[in-house]
Amino acid sequence: MSADRSQPRASRSAHWIGRNIGLLLVFAILASSVALYCAIYFAEQKTLPGNFELTSTVNNTMPLAMSALGQAIVILTRGIDLSVGGIMDFTNALAAVHMKADPVSMIVWTVLVLGAGALGGLLNGLLVGYGRLQPILVTLATLSIFQGVALRVLPEPGGAIPPGYTAALVNTDQPYALLYVLGAALLWTALRRTRIGVALYAIGNDEQSARAHGVDVVRTKVIAYTLSGMLAAAGGLCLAANATAGDATSGSGFTLTSIVAVVLGGVSLFGGRGNMIGALAGAFVTTMIVNILFFAHIDPLYQSFYEGLFLIVAVVLGAALGGLLKRGRA
Amino acid sequence: MSDNAQHIADAQAPAVEALRISKSFGGVHALEQASFSAGFGEVHALVGENGAGKSTMIKILGGRLRADAGELRIKGTTATLRSPLEAHAFGLRTVFQELTLLPGMSVSENLLLNHEPRGGLGLIDRRATDRKADALLAELGIHHIDPRALIEDISLAARQVVEIVRAISQDPDILLLDEPTSSLVEREAQWLFGHMRRLRDAGKCVIFTSHRWAEIIGVCTRISIFRNGRDVGSFDSIDEDEAITLMTGRRIDAYFPTPAAHTPAAPQLETRALTGRVLRDVSLTVAPGEIVGVGGLAGQGHRELFFTLFGADKATSGEILIGGATKTIHNPRDAIRAGMALVPEDRKSEGLLLPMAVRDNLTLAILPRIAHLGVLPLGLERQLTSRIVDALKVRTPDVRNAVGNLSGGNQQKVLIGRWLLAEPSVFLLYDVTRGVDVATKREIYDLILRLAAENRAVLFYSSDAEELAHLSHRVLVMREGAIVAQLHNPGLNAEDVVSAAMKVALVS
């Protein structure tokens, strides 16, 4: 047990790389999809994509980025939130119906909509945490409930989002929305360094052990689902702002795409491993795939087919690369 | 009573008193009115055979399990512990046998979970966390573990050390350790004993369980012996033979049929120098009609031996022969085709489909044989299954009843029955009577003898030395993956088996 057995220690950065292979991989995937996009764009337009393309890509990613963040927090605890799409249906409808063109109404309804999402998430959290019910069942049930409520709020697509609100949230001239992405990343970095942040990882790793060491499992789960609900509401607001109107069915698809973004982002579906920033990058990768398919002139009818194909290739390559990296370190 | 007097009273009270503690799991008694007490300034060993109830006792003391009946007093106060956290409030820390570390998090995060140093804005300071963890490790003389490494990336022994460091660093008054040395090398074990003695000298109470007699004698000041869920006495000193007699005991309720002498014949099952991850050079033979027992302390490679034979674990070298012919066994399907059957201890995860009917479970292994063009002739299925249910005395109201509703012993019979239908020539029985009630045990014993009488080769492992001694023609004792002793019936008794396992342990 003395010094003779001590081995040279890996450096801080080596440890960071070891812990964040998933994160590095998703950025590699993001970089290559951006490169592929630029290449196809150049072949098509004889010029490189510019500010307009960047802005529309960022804006189009915002709803998914927000909901993927929430989804990732829940998946970290080894849960899953299928109600994300329902909350986005409900919240984008709510905003489109009620928001008026004056700043006070905008602020008030932003807060109210985020609160409504948080409340929906809280319901999930209470059922999962205190009720000890399976997350997949609870959130599947609340998904239907939120979808129903959304149709009640806005039976036909319609309503309106004031142009000023769209300009503030997803500005169509400049990629200001990147600031929100940056803010989310910073907030996450701070959250990771709180007891709650550590607890999210701890219960995802081993709930029993975490409890044995004083982690409040139930409270942490309630917080995780509440945050997920609130972030889905933020996604719903972005969705409405992009469309400048509401549609009580436009959010449903985000349940699955948010899970895709999270998994692409290197967050383990088995909980306890991964990084929110990876989920953000995963969201951008999914948008890039759509962009690439658009410029490659893929028939929109077959778009989802190629999306799926692209996704499998990305995940397989990622897994292979990750395996190589791990073996290289060992 | 003044505060001071209270303090004195507390200081005189034993650290831990367990009074008539009972605990059962699904009708199986793990502890029955077991009592013991340990004082401050004491290193107290709980010893006993596998399944004697030591680990259950530690789990109850540590707040991981709740007793069904009985009273627990800590420092003279009656304690109801609903979680390990509530035990912490009594100054009690436990190193459980199943480690409670978080695999995807770093050593330092694990050591300081919920005690992380804070930096600016009240956020956790990662560098300070690493430094503090490093200091904690260094303080206890550990220099070879990197606090920034992930738990899943360090060795099992290092994880055990981290778990121990975490418990000790929280400065407990009472420290419980369940088999703390099972994955430690000698030097690390000595390190641990040093700290146990230091805590004892500081007036703390240390309670631990161990299978290794040498280390029990070397470090403890008091021993409590458990047998079959009951305490059979506490001693300041006791010699090994006496302890073994107490641990095994003469069980008045035990009944063991004697196997008929088998006629020597060419082996049905044979291994030659079987070597694997754990196994070392295992050569054995089992003749048709012969029952060969495999014994030894827990975790010496028995499981790996059985699973390797059955193709569920990989051998790196060596041969397996069935009926004199070398067989290549890569997976359980190969093993079944070669005529082997494995009845594991963990019926739930390794054998039965609990929600399905007794009948479905019975015919699972022979479906391809009895089905015609993929369709099951129901009449034949019913006939076959009722025959087995009757012959094995499976207590079920109906063959369509879900297996999950049966008692453990009856589930075990269904599993044996399933294999009987497949008519294997070699039966591998892995601790099949574990957690089975006495009456059913007897029926399983008779069944084992019948398997031999039908001229099948039976290799059977049991954590119960008494069973091995009585039911086997021969007993092989394993240690660290190798067969280290062979004992022959007639005339064997449990003491011989236990003492062979422990003596071997002492020599090495």
Domains defined along chain B, listed by start: 10-248 (3.40.50.300), 263-339+424-508 (3.40.50.300), 348-423 (no CATH)
Asked if residues B275 and B318 have their Cβ atoms less than 8 Å apart, the reply is: yes
Q: Do you find a cis peptide bond into A163, omega within 30 degrees of 0?
A: no
Domain hosting A102: range is: 51-304
**Which class for A157: exposed (0-12), middle (13-18), buried (19 or more C-beta within 10 A)?**
middle
| CB atoms B104 and A205 under 8 Å | yes
Name which of B88, B121, B150 is nearest A19 (Cβ-Cβ).
Answer: B150
Residues from chain A that touch B148, judged by Cβ atoms under 8 A, are: 9-10, 12, 15
Give domain status of residue A164, yes or no.
Answer: yes
What secondary structure letter does DSSP report for B202?
T
Angstrom distance (rounded) from CA B33 to CA B408: 23
Asked if residues A92 and A239 have their Cβ atoms less than 8 Å apart, the reply is: yes
Chain A residue closest in CA terms to B166? A213
Residues from chain B that touch A273, judged by Cβ atoms under 8 A, are: 104
- The distance of B34 to chain A (nearest Cα, Å) reads 25
Give domain status of residue A198, yes or no.
Answer: yes
Chain B residue closest in CA terms to A9? B146
| Residue whose C-alpha is closest to residue A139's, from A67, A201, A200 | A67
Asked if residues B300 and B324 have their Cβ atoms less than 8 Å apart, the reply is: no
CA–chain centroid gap for B25, Å, is 15
Give domain status of residue A24, yes or no.
Answer: no
Asked if residues B246 and B227 have their Cβ atoms less than 8 Å apart, the reply is: yes
Chain B residue closest in CA terms to A191? B123
Distant-in-sequence, close-in-space partners of B479: CB < 8 Å, separation ≥ 6? B296, B297, B300, B501, B504, B505, B508
Query: Which ipTM was obtained for this model?
Result: 0.83
| CB atoms A209 and B102 under 8 Å | yes
| Residue whose C-alpha is closest to residue A68's, from A283, A287, A288 | A283
Give domain status of residue A146, yes or no.
Answer: yes
Count the domains in chain A: 1
CB pairs under 8 A between A and B: 93
| CB atoms A15 and B149 under 8 Å | yes
In the block, tokens 């399905």 appear at B356
Helix then strand then coil, % of chain A, to nearest 5? 75, 0, 25
Give domain status of residue A243, yes or no.
Answer: yes
Chain A residue closest in CA terms to B157? A1
Distant-in-sequence, close-in-space partners of B394: CB < 8 Å, separation ≥ 6? B358, B388, B406, B410, B413, B414, B417
Structure tokens at B223: 């021993």
Give domain status of residue A28, yes or no.
Answer: no
Give domain status of residue A244, yes or no.
Answer: yes
Residues from chain B that touch A215, judged by Cβ atoms under 8 A, are: 113-114
Tens place of pLDDT for every residue, chain B, 508 residues? 344 434 444 557 899 999 999 998 765 678 889 999 999 999 999 988 766 788 889 999 999 889 999 999 999 999 988 888 889 999 999 998 777 899 889 999 999 988 889 887 889 998 899 999 999 999 999 988 999 999 988 888 899 999 999 999 999 999 999 988 877 877 888 899 999 999 999 999 999 998 777 788 889 999 999 887 889 889 888 877 788 778 776 554 557 888 887 778 888 999 999 998 888 899 999 999 999 999 887 778 888 899 999 888 888 889 899 888 888 888 888 888 888 988 877 655 556 777 788 887 777 767 767 666 667 677 777 777 888 788 777 777 777 777 777 766 777 788 888 888 778 899 999 888 776 666 677 888 888 888 888 889 999 998 888 888 888 999 999 888 888 888 888 888 888 888 888 765 544 3
The answer to whether residue A19 neighbours chain B at the CB level (below 8 Å) is yes
Run of H or E residues at A281: helix A276-295
Q: The pTM is what?
A: 0.73
Give domain status of residue A25, yes or no.
Answer: no
| CB atoms A202 and B105 under 8 Å | yes
| CATH number for A244 | 1.10.3470
Chain B residue closest in CA terms to A212? B84
The answer to whether residue A301 neighbours chain B at the CB level (below 8 Å) is no
